[in-house]
Structure 1
Amino acid sequence: MGKIIAISNQKGGVGKTTTSVNLSAALGELNKKVLLIDLDPQASTTTSLGINRSLLYSTVTDVLLNHIEIEDSIIHLSDINVDVIPATIELAHLEIKLDIDDREYALSHKIQRIAHLYDFIVIDCPPSLGLLTLNALYASNSVLIPVQCQYLAIDGLTQLLNTIRIVQKQLKVNNKRLEIEGVLLTMLDKRTKAGWEIVHEIKDYFKEGVFDTIITSNVAAQVAPTYGLPVTTFAPRSPASKLYKSLAKEVVANNERR
């Protein structure tokens, strides 16, 4: 059964979507079978991969509302060896429309049908701790937390960690675990002292839970989504591409050890 990883941080602008897209693409380059689920109503992951939202026949919203089977929502992107379940702004209305008893488990119930088909399933979460993020956490085996190397970016981590602990306690009832895959330091400006201070502070707190790979600020990673491509395809020799490939190797190695 595939490893299900939620990319989550309730703060926006820390690199969740960039991490989701480029980690998935880099895992695909390692010949891993990868499914990327866009669970953010902003649908930035969908757009970043060049998928025209106005032409979509089905989305993750249709899956969660039982309008279609999850298998029928998957789009295969052969050029980057990644499968995608896309999203649109309609996902923002899910909390109103989803009328079932165990709403936090809606995605978990669906994803179990196809988890055996993949090595990794990556879920891009919205910048909040609402119903959608809870669905991602309850469905996942682990959480990867991107943290921007700026002071304000680490200010709200306590709230996320408390939410993770609540989910962990609930999942124990079902004999299921939710671990922290790792903390990923992003958008580091290597020229500034303040950025490195945040790096040291995060490493002091999370110890070995921090990835060795640090994603530095890079123009190629910012430009790639405008072409509907991950940076690993758009600029394969760029520093950003090399860093996401390094991250993918770390994720694979960590899971092989476990």
Structure 2
Amino acid sequence: MTAKKNASALEKQGASELPGLEAPVLGPTGRPLRVFPQPAPLKSHGPARIISLCNQKGGVGKTTTTVNLGATLADDGRRVLAIDFDPQGALSAGLGVDTHDSLTIYDLLLGTEKDPHNVIRHTSVPNFDIIPANIDLSAAEVHLISEVARETILARVLRKVSDEYDVILIDCQPSLGLLTVNALTASHGVLIPLECEFFALRGVALLVETIEKVKDRLNPAIKLDGILATMYDSRTLHSREVMQRVVDAFGPEVLETVIGRTIKFPDASVSGTPITQFAPDHPAANAYRQLARELVFRGAVA
């Protein structure tokens, strides 16, 4: 049987290991490299599984992952809603959504707008919508601090639309404040993008501790869906060492898919489109396709 037929046979069983003549090909995580198959179409949609993309360190790839993971899941037939939960509004800009003089997530949190349908905006990707944000969101924590059950406000907002989507992705701001606690309280799972750099690694333990506190006190159903290594550069010893330390510390919670460092990501952001549209044949686009399919394979997404 040829190598191609071997791969095809394995793929029918789920995720397939890339065949080698003597030993499996190892990926950056040190595990056998697998190709995750395209998921089967859904027969119905909803209710959504809500996933927060969270890390208190900035610049680790939360927004990039939200944009491209959401677009890829939508390409695979899932209905996706992204929540821009960062006052910088990078997710809205990255999807080409203008937030000037428009309703945002801030209006829903404060209750000045009751219906999320009036705030949801369509993106250039079919089946991929967004609730945008702008700098107004920076005042939300001050206004919400005296609210009753302030940690559950976002959960109450999303409850009104969750039946219409298969997955809701929340792009959190780089902090562990009230907004992030709101996101974690509303979520079924957490995906932690982690830059392959030493200082990014240091804060993961604190973030996991925060997730455990939310699980214990506010949301018993929340779970860690995985740690996603981003900005990986196999040419540098530092990236490889950080990857090894992450795998040693978190084991199978580290996703097999790894996102490499490339200039294509900022180029795609400037164009206001996901990399799967901007450069569909680029290795980075293929990496996000594999990420979406790995999450489906793991059961984190329907």
Q: TM-score, structure 2 length as denominator? A: 0.81
Deviations 1:11-37 (A, max 9, x none): 011111001111101101101000000
State how far apart, in whole Å, the 2-side matches of 1:161 and 1:227 are. 34
1:210 partnered with 2:257: no
- Counterpart of 1:8 (choices 54, 63, 87) is 54
Partner of 2:36: none
Aligned amino acid, residue 229 of structure 1: T
Two-structure CA RMSD over aligned residues (Å)? 1.4
Partner of 2:86: 40
1:60 partnered with 2:105: yes
Aligned amino acid, residue 242 of structure 1: N
The worse-fitting range, judged by mean Cα deviation, of 134-143 and 98-107 is 98-107
Aligned amino acid, residue 22 of structure 1: N
Deviations 1:159-192 (A, max 9, x none): 11111010000135xxx41100100000011100
Aligned amino acid, residue 42 of structure 1: Q
Partner of 1:18: 64
SS in 1 for 2:81: strand
Unaligned runs of 5+ in 2: 1-46
Partner of 1:194: 238
Q: Tell me if structure 1 keeps the 8 A contact 2:71–2:125.
A: no
SS in 1 for 2:256: coil
State how far apart, in whole Å, the 1-side matches of 2:265 and 2:123 are. 19
Off by >2 Å, runs of 4+ in structure 1:
78-81
Who wins on radius of gyration, i.e. which is larger?
2
Task: Give the aligned length.
Answer: 254
Partner of 2:288: 244
Deviations 1:88-147 (A, max 9, x none): 000000011224111111101111121111110000000000011011000000100011
Unaligned runs of 5+ in 1: none
State how far apart, in whole Å, the 1-side matches of 2:300 and 2:97 are. 32
Shift of 1:234: 0.6
State how far apart, in whole Å, the 2-side matches of 1:222 and 1:95 are. 30
Shift of 1:3: 0.7
Distance 1:194 1:256, change over 3 A: closer
SS in 1 for 2:160: coil
Partner of 1:185: 229
- Counterpart of 2:212 (choices 162, 165, 174) is 165
Q: TM-score, structure 1 length as denominator? A: 0.95
Aligned amino acid, residue 2 of structure 1: A
Partner of 2:132: 86
Q: Tell me if structure 2 keeps the 8 A contact 1:171–1:178.
A: no
Higher helix share: 1
Deviations 1:75-95 (A, max 9, x none): 122534311000000000001
Shift of 1:256: 6.8
Distance 1:89 1:113, change over 3 A: same
State how far apart, in whole Å, the 2-side matches of 1:33 and 1:49 are. 16
Q: Tell me if structure 2 keeps the 8 A contact 1:218–1:239.
A: no
Q: Tell me if structure 1 keeps the 8 A contact 2:225–2:300.
A: no
Identity %: 41
Shift of 1:213: 0.4
State how far apart, in whole Å, the 1-side matches of 2:121 and 2:291 are. 24
